[in-house]
Amino acid sequence: MRDAVHRPQRVLVTGGAGFIGSNLARRWLVQQPALVVVNVDLLTYAADRGHVADLPADRHQLIEADICDTNRMAQLLRDHAIDTVVHLAAESHVDRSIDGPGAFIQTNVVGTSSLLQAARTVWLDEGRMAAWAAQGRSVRFHHVSTDEVYGDLSATDPAFTETTPYAPSSPYSASKAASDHLVRAWSRTYGLPVTLSNCSNNYGPRQHGEKLIPTVIRKCLDREAIPVYGTGENVRDWLYVDDHCDAIWHIVRHGANGETYNVGGLNEWTNLALVHQMCRAVAVETGVAGQTLIDLITFVTDRPGHDRRYAIDPSKLTALGWSPDRSLDNGLQLTVQWYLARWRDGALGAHTRIGLGR
N- to C-terminal Cα separation, the chain: 37
> Cα Rg for the chain, rounded, in angstroms?
20
Whether 239 and 264 have beta carbons less than 8 Å apart is answered as yes
The active-site residue out of 83, 91, 147, 268 is 147
CA–CA gap between residue 88 and residue 305 (Å, rounded): 25
64 is an active site residue: no
Element containing residue 62 per DSSP (H, E): strand 60-64
Q: How far is CA 202 from the centre of its chain?
A: 7
Using CB atoms within 10 Å of the CB of residue 256, give its burial: 0 to 12 exposed, 13 to 18 middle, 19+ buried. middle
- Cα angle value 282/285/288 (rounded, 5°): 70
Q: How far apart are CA 163 and CA 228, in angstroms?
A: 32
Q: Which amino acid, residue 190?
A: Y
Neighbours of 290 (CB within 10 A): 16
For every residue of 343-356, DSSP letters joined together read HHTT--GGGG----
Residue 301 DSSP label: P
59: Cβ contacts below 8 Å, ≥ 6 apart:
29, 35, 36, 37
What would the DSSP string read from start to end of 112-135? HHHHHHHHIIIIIITSHHHHHHTT
For the CA atoms of 334, 339, 342, 346, what is the dihedral angle to 10 degrees?
Answer: -160
| Amino acid letter, residue 72 | R
Q: Is 229 a residue of the active site? A: no
126 is catalytic: no
Report phi then psi at 222, rounded to 5. -90, 0
The one catalytic residue among 83, 91, 152, 172:
172
Among the listed residues 41, 48, 83, 148, the single catalytic one is 148
Residues with catalytic roles: 147-148, 172
